[in-house]
Amino acid sequence: MNIIENIRLAFSSLLANKMRALLTMLGIIIGIGSVIAIMTVGDSLTGYVSESMAGLGSNNIYLSIQSKKEEGRNNMPFYAQGNSSTIDEKHLLSNEMLIDLLQSFPEEIKAISISDTVGNGQTTSGKLYANLSLVGVNPEYALAENISIEKGRFINQNDDSGGRKVAVVSDKLAANMFGNENPLGKQITINAGNHTGVYTIVGIYTYETNNMMGVQTTSDKDTSTSVYIPLTTANKITKTHSYQSVVIITNIGVDVDSFIADVSQLFAKYYSRNNDFGISLTSMESMMDTVTSMLGAIELAIAAIAAISLLVGGIGVMNIMMVSITERTKEIGTRKALGATNGDIRIQFVVEAIIICLIGGIIGVALGISLGLVASNLLGAPATASISTIALATLFSMAIGVFFGYYPANKAAKLNPIDALRYE
């Protein structure tokens, strides 16, 4: 009997017992669907996170102060718009160190981004208000953070050197405080931390959520956004001229690993005798690798747990095949009496098991892709379904059919034709 005839017999058997066949496939459908959905969401999130981090600058290197007691515990640097007052100023990065860094690597360094957070607070006008974080920055900050200016301009060198009281605000803050009016040139009173000051708006930037999932957890009205002022202005408020972290923007083509080693050697003269603190250097590329590998490991772990249902589905297939063989014992005896070999019988039932699992796998793939795409869109990540994962899942469902169908098929093949014909 050829393979086409075996497939035809398999479909005839399934159509004769539609409900039983569907219930048999259910375990395979759930198992394959769960794995595909998880892999789809995982691939979507990994791609979204990688794209988001790359948007911050693939040639960015984060230089930060780290406690020597924490060295080796994690590779992620202290990088936030944090206030440098959390560490004694003598341990921080001074302007002299940063000038030395620029002069030592003029060909490698494009710019150094520096920030200093004044504090969180609000700007109010009558019943209008907007939550904010007041941050002092140098002009290079916009390059490191890939800030998109909608109107006006960013903080420039004249603002910084003159210590001007100017501000760049988000489009959300501008909408909250000024509605459809043009906010450029308008003044806002900012209360942040222990500081209260009046600033002139010189620029509006496009606010982008810091949440990697893109999920907004607060209303637009209550969302806190950063207000950028000149770094020297912030220094006067915080009464510090040292920093806990900076971002080094390298020129294209710089060997990042070699550059990091050279910078570490340069800062050794400043921190080799410091028993409490040292520097941490992390490239955006290494951070991306770390995050994507973590997401990949989590994705595989969850997918492996979901795949357990495939084992249950496979056992269900074996069970139904055993029942089917018992019901068709006389048919098997008749075929053997007419000359069918043990191999013919074995192939017939293996093919039937493969068809059950393959149909279940195809339905599971379609269900998994649909659920994965819906979940990815709800999380705000661009939905992507991996063709290789779909192909692997389909082949795996066929392998389950072979694995769990072989034992019942082999049992059917070994039936004695006389005993099978006499079976009632």
Q: What is the pLDDT of residue 78?
A: 42
Q: What is the DSSP string of 370-416?
A: HHHHHHHHHTTPPP---HHHHHHHHHHHHHHHHHHHHHHHHHHHT--
- Do 45 and 373 meet the contact criterion of CB atoms below 8 Å apart? no
pLDDT (tens digit, 9 = 90+) per residue, 201-257?
Answer: 999 999 987 554 444 555 667 889 999 999 999 999 998 889 999 999 988 888 888
- Do 112 and 249 meet the contact criterion of CB atoms below 8 Å apart? yes
Sequence-distant contacts of 209-218: CB under 8 A, at least 24 apart: 212/48, 212/49, 212/52, 213/45, 213/48, 213/379, 213/380, 213/381, 214/48, 214/379, 214/380, 214/381, 215/379, 215/380
- Do 58 and 284 meet the contact criterion of CB atoms below 8 Å apart? yes
pTM for the full predicted model: 0.64
**Length, in residues, of the chain:** 424
CA distances for 19 relative to 4, 14, 26, 316, 355, angstroms: 24, 9, 11, 14, 15
Residue 212: Cβ-neighbour burial (10 angstroms; 0-12, 13-18, 19+): middle
Q: What is the pLDDT of residue 417?
A: 73
Strand partners, 280: 64
Which amino acid type is present at position 399?
A
Q: What is the pLDDT of residue 80?
A: 41
Per-residue pLDDT of the chain (424 residues; tens, 9 = 90+): 567 887 887 788 778 888 888 888 888 888 888 888 888 887 777 777 766 655 555 678 899 998 877 655 544 444 444 445 567 888 899 999 999 999 999 999 999 999 999 999 999 988 889 999 999 999 999 988 889 999 999 999 999 999 999 999 999 999 999 988 999 999 999 999 889 999 999 999 999 875 544 445 556 678 899 999 999 999 999 988 899 999 999 888 888 889 999 999 999 989 888 888 888 888 877 777 777 778 778 777 777 776 777 777 788 888 888 888 887 788 878 877 878 788 888 888 888 888 888 888 889 888 888 888 888 777 777 667 777 777 877 787 778 878 888 888 888 888 777 766 665 5
- Do 355 and 399 meet the contact criterion of CB atoms below 8 Å apart? no
Q: What is the pLDDT of residue 36?
A: 84
